[in-house]
Amino acid sequence: MSVLTPIRHALATANAYLRIDLSTGRTDVICGAQADFLLVDIHRDDDVRPGPYGRYQIKAADGRTVRLAPLASRSGPMATWYKHCTLPDGRTSYPQAPMSGAEVLKHAHAADGAVHRLLDGGFIRVHRGRCAETWSPLIVNPQETS
Amino acid sequence: MTITDSTADLYLVTYENGTATVLEGADVRGMIEDATHQDPSFLIPLDSGAFKLDFASPAGAGIQFEPVKADISVPFERLVEMRSRDGIQWQEVGGVSLADAERLLGEEVSRCDGSIWFLMSGTVVVLDGQKATLRFEPLRETRK
């Protein structure tokens, strides 16, 4: 099978996916066709596990664990507050003070690398092939609960 | 929200030093806005929806933006194989059929554990995470 031929039963249906190698921390974006090719043709069915929001986790035969998360359009509505984490080494996440939606957008505009929005409403910043920062939407207002 | 709602518009962005990455349409529009705000002549439109930001004018330099296609069809039968080590200097290897291009793309992407991108222009590109290493551009002239 090749990446260009029509797909029999597609697993990956989004246009683009964020690919995170949990063992090495390597993070990049791949197109939907390539994600589908990995899920359907490269890895065994038993190694592929679907998750929420159209995500997939691959536990490869060589011991690597790879996570695929579909990208959403950046232009959707923003949550009021976001939980903010930085990942200096690309793997360990350190929680930071919550940020408002407007602050996240402003930060995303100025930061190095590429900021992508995921289907769960969270944002992720990829810089030099590593995940550098994450923002996940908060249901409760941090100022009310503190 | 379903998976099919995902319609991120993406651009392949190639910087002057050969680094190539895929950016969201929102980021790209922000960069264009910032640059054209300084000087509208920085923006140079190219073929098939691609464009270039040229800050200083010794020609050739600048940031190039090529729109990524949502579907993965390649509407050309003959393609030109181009290879590069640094993402800047491209060497034309020769014309190949679509079937051969598919095989070479598969080999290259598994060699460098990279990603394949289908552009609006019909070009297919392999990124190795840092830069583009392989391009298949459509062969436009039809010789009989």
B23: its two tokens: 């950016």
3-state secondary structure of B119: strand
Distance separating alpha carbons of residues B126 and B133, to the nearest angstrom: 6
A4 vs B contacts (CB less than 8 Å): 72-74, 98, 102, 105
Render pLDDT for B93-115 as a digit per residue (tens, 0 to 9): 999 999 999 999 989 998 888 99
pTM for the predicted model, two decimal places: 0.82
Q: Is A3 in Cβ contact with B105 (below 8 Å)?
A: yes
Render pLDDT for B15-27 as a digit per residue (tens, 0 to 9): 888 899 998 888 8
Tell me the CA distances in angstroms from B126 to A37, A67, A70, B20, B115, one per residue in order.
15, 21, 20, 10, 6
B49: its two tokens: 């929806």
Q: Compute the average pLDDT of residues B37-60.
A: 80
Higher pLDDT, A1 or A132: A132
Torsions phi, psi for A143 (to 5 deg): -75, -25
Distance from CA of B3 to the nearest CA of A (A): 6
Please tell me if residue B77 touches chain A, with a CB cutoff of 8 Å: no
Distance separating alpha carbons of residues B63 and B43, to the nearest angstrom: 10
Q: Compute the average pLDDT of residues B75-93.
A: 91
Which among A28, A36, A107, A124 is the top mutation candidate for probing chain B, defined by the most B β-carbons within 10 Å of its own β-carbon? A28
Give the closest of B4, B30, B115 to A30, CB-based: B115
Helix (H) or strand (E) segment spanning residue A68: strand A65-72
Which residues 65-104 on chain A approach chain B with CB closer than 8 angstroms? 70-75
Render pLDDT for A78-88 as a digit per residue (tens, 0 to 9): 899 999 999 99
CA gyration radius, chain A: 16
| pLDDT (0 to 100) of residue B123 | 92
Distance from CA of B64 to the nearest CA of A (A): 16
- Write down the mean pLDDT value for chain A: 86
